[in-house]
Amino acid sequence: MLAYVTIGTQDLKRAGAFYDELLGIIGGKRFMDEETFVAWTNSERGAGLGVTYPFDGSPATVGNGVMVALECSSREQVDALHAKALELGGSDEGAPGQRMEWFYAGYFRDLDGNKLNACYISQGG
């Protein structure tokens, strides 16, 4: 259903470096790289994640209640993605763990304060 998600940044170079390393863990590669935005995907037909300076020229702000979920292929990949986010300067919003029988996730904020999670949804979900 989702085509892509875009989040704002105050510093595109810093955000680009953060997401290059972070999304590399789940096979993400840049597919768009422009002066005002960068976007990644890990498949030809899957959803993408973009980081941009706001179009209206105002400062980027964090959406209250907004969260981007990054799909992982295993619990171990969730753990690795969450750890990498913190290593790169992100902040913890909830350590990886089993949230429901079929849902394992860890929550963090990026360098601009955007909330993300790394999640693994098992066959039972």
- CATH class, domain 4-52+67-121, is alpha beta
List pLDDT tens digits, range 53-69: 999 999 999 988 899 99
For 17-30, how does the pLDDT look when each residue is reduced to its tens digit (9 = 90+)? 999 999 999 999 99
Q: What is the pLDDT of residue 58?
A: 94
Stronger pLDDT, 64 or 103, i.e. the higher one: 103
Measured distance between the N- and C-terminal CA atoms of the chain, rounded to whole angstroms: 17
Instruction: Please name which of 45, 39, 47, 44 lies closest in space to residue 7, comparing C-alpha atoms.
Output: 39
Q: Report the alpha-carbon angle 25-42-23, nearest 5.
A: 30
pLDDT, average across residues 38-65: 93
